[in-house]
Amino acid sequence: MTLVIKNGYVYDPLTGINGEQKDIFIKEGKIVEETSEKDAKIIDAEGKTVMPGGVDLHSHIAGSKINIGRLLRPEDHRKDIVKRGKNTRGGVGYSCPSTFITGYRYAEMGYTSVMEAAMPPIGARHVHEELNDTPIIDKAAFTLFGNNYFTLKYVKEGDIEKLKAFIAWLLKATRGYAVKIVNAGGVENWKWGHNVSGLDGKVEDYDITPRQIIKMLAKANEELGLPHTIHLHCNNLGMPGNYKITRETMDTLKEIKPKKGRSATVHVVHCQFNALAGDNWMNVKSGAPYIAKYVNNHDHVTLDLGQVIFTDTTTMTGDGPWQFALWNMTGNKWVNSDVEMEAGAGVVPYTFKKNNPANSVQWGIGLELALSVKDPWKIYMTTDHPNGGPFIYYPQVIAWLMSRQARTDTMRELNRACLKRTGLSNLYREYSFNDIAIVTRAGTAKALGLTEKGHLGVGADGDVAIYDIDPTSWRPSQYDKLIKTFAKASYTIKNGEIVVKDGEVVSAPMGTTHWVDAKMPQEIEEELMKDLERDFKQYYTVSLKNYPVEDEYLPIQKIHKAGGGQ
């Protein structure tokens, strides 16, 4: 289909377009400079807002953790049963939605690309099967490295070349896109019933520290030239006072030389959960000013929010020790999952409550981070779905970012701890439409290294979202309209095909799965394979030849080449 989107107010930060009224042309699934309107379908976007398709760089939508959540919580499904539609399948939703509902709901909000943020390598087939089952959106999965046996082995030996070769091999074997680190060393210790203490605590049986693991993985990541930086879930997540270790972790990486073409060497995920000050949950307060000050003064760090939503949700992370601690605090149902040789996870239901002092502070921290980090290219909008809350609340987060009135009205409903222990009430900044386009599209695509996403320049994928709101007349007091508009796009266009019209799915094609193929010198690869063959035979329950994911699991794929600092 050839499309012409006419007269909309276009926000395309990567090409420098900030609210100009202009036409967008799409032909054969790509943005083109211009095309004949004779045979094109015309979409009149006059009085509407036009942006690239949304790019969510951190969500949990496929694999073992989300499935544990689905199994653990039938009550989550009962309140959100989705009937079959004319163009859609039925399913269940809310915090652990089924695969089809996940794809539909992201598309309805104008999102066209979503990253699964934690893939256990031995479970990669399962992840890709579910990603294939998730319609419309393009996707990728981040492979877990921070507690992997081979990672720990090569860090202990100080062998950066073997570590780089292992990263390259495992990304290809799992069809993964990025290096994900969760509580480096802590999940390995959890196999023995312990965590690590600080960045310099010892990892059982390896005599190495989280600092060494994170630093060496970051160095290897940049020397390989991977499209995304390390994707880092810091140690001590959820613990009051943890802003100190978060800041120390970022500072540890400031001397790493970044890949050519970027300044960042680390992306710190769901930073709200790692920006807590205070000594305990009774006096917890915001550590956001300390994190924001550091990020404002350094260019090697990007963040995403992990914004809290006041609702019942399902927490799930690859951080087993934290989930155990949360179970102890709540007494709710709990599942612990150990992944042999590689990772672990936990799942605990949780309700964020407006009258809970700690929850009110957490809510304020996320927004305080977003409003205190001066450069929107350094901080991106997420809820760490479903940990902070389901992704369907993104329009509400947009309203809080764009409207001080929306924040004030919510604060009036909260425990007064939010006013006393965060600086949110003193922040008057309101995001613009251009800022929103950065933190939900342009910035996330740039951070991921997805050069054909997040913009509407010539050659970009034909992924476009059109919202029925006139940015020239909208005012922050009208935040209810903003929430309604961003919840249901007027049009979502995926690769030049209209998939959502007037907020309803009209077509559900299969999206593309992105993964990285990184190259290393042949002699190092051969040495690595000797290690893998020996240690798989000795330690794994799966043979090496049966371990890698075959191409059949990725019927539509895009391979991103890397290696040698590209």
pLDDT per residue as tens digits for the range 432-481: 999 999 999 999 999 999 999 999 999 999 999 999 999 999 999 999 99
**Reported pTM:** 0.97
- Taken as a whole, the chain contains a residue count of 566
pLDDT band at 564 (very low <50, low <70, confident <90, very high): low
How is residue 302 written in tokens? Answer: 């990007």
Helix or strand run (H / E) with residue 405: helix 404-411
Angle, alpha carbons 296-302-306 (nearest 5°): 110
Which residues, 6 or more positions from 478, have their beta carbon under 8 angstroms from its beta carbon? Answer: none
pLDDT in tens, 113-135: 999 999 999 999 999 999 999 99
Mean pLDDT computed over 84-113: 97
DSSP 3-state assignment of 417?
helix
The answer on pLDDT for 565 being more than 60 is no
Q: How many CB atoms lie under 10 A from the CB of residue 146?
A: 28
pLDDT band at 308 (very low <50, low <70, confident <90, very high): very high
**Burial state string for 161-186 with b = 16 or more CB within 10 A and e = fewer than 16:** bbbbbbbbbbbbbbbbbbbbbbbbbb
The answer on pLDDT for 12 being more than 70 is yes
Torsion angle of C-alpha atoms 400, 402, 405, 409, degrees rounded to 10: -10
Q: Which long-range contacts (CB under 8 A, 24 or more apart) does 477-484 make?
A: 477/403, 477/405, 479/399, 479/402, 479/403, 479/405, 479/406, 480/399, 482/395, 482/398, 482/399, 482/402, 482/403, 483/395, 483/396, 483/398, 483/399, 484/395
The answer on pLDDT for 210 being more than 70 is yes
Asked if residue 208 lies in contact with residue 243, where contact means CB atoms within 8 angstroms, the answer is no
Question: In the predicted model, what is the mean pLDDT of the chain?
Answer: 96
Torsion angle of C-alpha atoms 49, 52, 53, 56, degrees rounded to 10: -110
The answer on pLDDT for 235 being more than 80 is yes
d(CA 183, CA 176): 19
pLDDT band at 37 (very low <50, low <70, confident <90, very high): confident
Q: What pLDDT, on a 0 to 100 scale, did the predictor assign at position 72?
A: 95
pLDDT band at 1 (very low <50, low <70, confident <90, very high): confident
The answer on pLDDT for 317 being more than 50 is yes
Set out the domains of the chain in order of their start, with CATH numbers.
52-448 (3.20.20.140)
Mean pLDDT computed over 339-359: 96
Residues forming a β-bridge with 10:
20, 50
Single out the residue of 209, 138, 210 nearest to residue 450, CA to CA: 138
d(CA 496, CA 484): 25
How is residue 380 written in tokens? Answer: 């991106």
Percentage of the chain beyond pLDDT 90 is 96
Strand ranges inside 66-170, DSSP E: 81-82, 91-92, 111-119, 138-144
pLDDT in tens, 261-301: 999 999 999 999 999 999 999 999 999 999 999 999 999 99
Dihedrals phi, psi of 238, to nearest 5 degrees: 75, 5
Which residues, 6 or more positions from 461, have their beta carbon under 8 angstroms from its beta carbon? Answer: 29, 30, 31, 53, 112, 138, 452, 453, 495
d(CA 54, CA 44): 21
Asked if residue 214 lies in contact with residue 253, where contact means CB atoms within 8 angstroms, the answer is yes
Asked if residue 91 lies in contact with residue 100, where contact means CB atoms within 8 angstroms, the answer is yes
Q: How many CB atoms lie under 10 A from the CB of residue 68?
A: 19
pLDDT band at 230 (very low <50, low <70, confident <90, very high): very high
d(CA 483, CA 488): 9
Q: What pLDDT, on a 0 to 100 scale, did the predictor assign at position 566?
A: 42
Q: How many CB atoms lie under 10 A from the CB of residue 239?
A: 18
Q: What pLDDT, on a 0 to 100 scale, did the predictor assign at position 332?
A: 95
d(CA 121, CA 479): 42
Q: What pLDDT, on a 0 to 100 scale, did the predictor assign at position 563?
A: 82
How is residue 45 written in tokens? Answer: 């976007």
The answer on pLDDT for 164 being more than 80 is yes
Percentage of the chain beyond pLDDT 70 is 99
How is residue 104 written in tokens? Answer: 């539909």
Query: Is the backbone of residue 365 left (phi > 0), alpha (psi -120 to 50) or beta?
Result: alpha
How is residue 340 written in tokens? Answer: 């042999």
Q: Is the peptide bond before 289 cis (omega within 30 degrees of 0)?
A: no
d(CA 267, CA 230): 6
Q: What pLDDT, on a 0 to 100 scale, did the predictor assign at position 133?
A: 96
Alpha helices in 231-287 (DSSP H): 243-252
Dihedrals phi, psi of 292, to nearest 5 degrees: -60, -40
Q: What pLDDT, on a 0 to 100 scale, did the predictor assign at position 237?
A: 96
Asked if residue 199 lies in contact with residue 210, where contact means CB atoms within 8 angstroms, the answer is yes
Helix or strand run (H / E) with residue 380: strand 379-380
Which residues, 6 or more positions from 80, have their beta carbon under 8 angstroms from its beta carbon? Answer: 92, 93, 94, 97
